[in-house]
Structure 1
Amino acid sequence: MFAEAVLDAGGQLEVVLPSRNYRERKVKPDHVELFDDLLARATSVRVMDFEDTGREAYEAANEAMLTSCDRLVAVRDGGVGEKGGTGTVVELARVQNMPVDIVWPEGAGRA
């Protein structure tokens, strides 16, 4: 939803995929069409040099993503997540003294 909102507002989407098999392994069948549409609308797509998605691939993708931005806007509830997840990239950005904005609307919840 966030990527669609950015594009609809005239922004650009730059994608970093953690592995070559990310689409096949992680994108749910009912989300494939939207995933493909967002990739087609992206100004750039970078695929990390990992065959399989896992913690190491996610951490490498996080680091690569941070090298191409000046500010991190993270959609996150603030809960404890997995290593390599959104919380990890937020902390990495803060260590690098990058401005970080957390977006989590009041009343929002996880499905």
Structure 2
Amino acid sequence: MPPLRSARLPTVRGYDTAELVALSCLADGPDTWFAEAVLSAGGRLEAVVPATEYRNGLPQWHHPVYDELRQRASHVHETGLVVSDPASHMAGSETLVGLADELLAVWDGKPARGHGGTADVVAYAQRHGVPVRTL
């Protein structure tokens, strides 16, 4: 069963939606909510697929949402990796950061619970000079 969330999507303020492109791995939760918010505001979506088997590791209930968003993406970036594991998830995040002008991270400020967690992605972005905004 999907987690409960507000019926309202997050708002995208302060950005010109004609120029706004969401980069997302389309995981269940904030990744998807952000992609939906940008699309609803008139922006574009580019999906990043960490591994060929990535979708299989997502919750079953999320597959239809993932499939729809992936189809709506103007571009799909793939890492070329097959196995969906922490290393491929980090590779996907590195691809995403490499394409981004700014990283918006839903993060509690705590260390990653495993390789490729939010703390690792934020640190990677900072090391590569990509501005980070945490929510």
**TM-score for both structures, normalised by structure 2:** 0.69
Q: Distance in 1 between matches of 2:52 and 2:101?
A: 26
Measured on the aligned residues, the alpha-carbon RMSD in Å equals 1.3
Query: How many residue pairs end up in the alignment?
Result: 102
Residue matched to 1:61 = 92
2:51 to 19, 40, 43: 19
Q: Distance in 1 between matches of 2:129 and 2:79?
A: 24
Unaligned runs of 5+ in 1: 104-111
Q: Distance in 1 between matches of 2:117 and 2:74?
A: 23
- Runs of 4+, deviation exceeding 3 Å: none
Q: Distance in 1 between matches of 2:35 and 2:107?
A: 14
* Contact residue 48 and residue 76 of structure 2 kept, 8 A: yes
Higher relative contact order (Cα pairs below 8 Å, separated by 6+ residues) = 1
Q: Distance in 1 between matches of 2:49 and 2:117?
A: 13
Pair 1:90-2:107 in alignment? no
Identity %: 36
Unaligned runs of 5+ in 2: 1-32
**TM-aligned CA deviation for residue 8 of structure 1:** 0.8
Secondary structure in 1 aligned to 2:99? coil
Secondary structure in 2 aligned to 1:88? helix
**TM-aligned CA deviation for residue 80 of structure 1:** 2.4
Residue matched to 2:69 = 38
**TM-score for both structures, normalised by structure 1:** 0.82
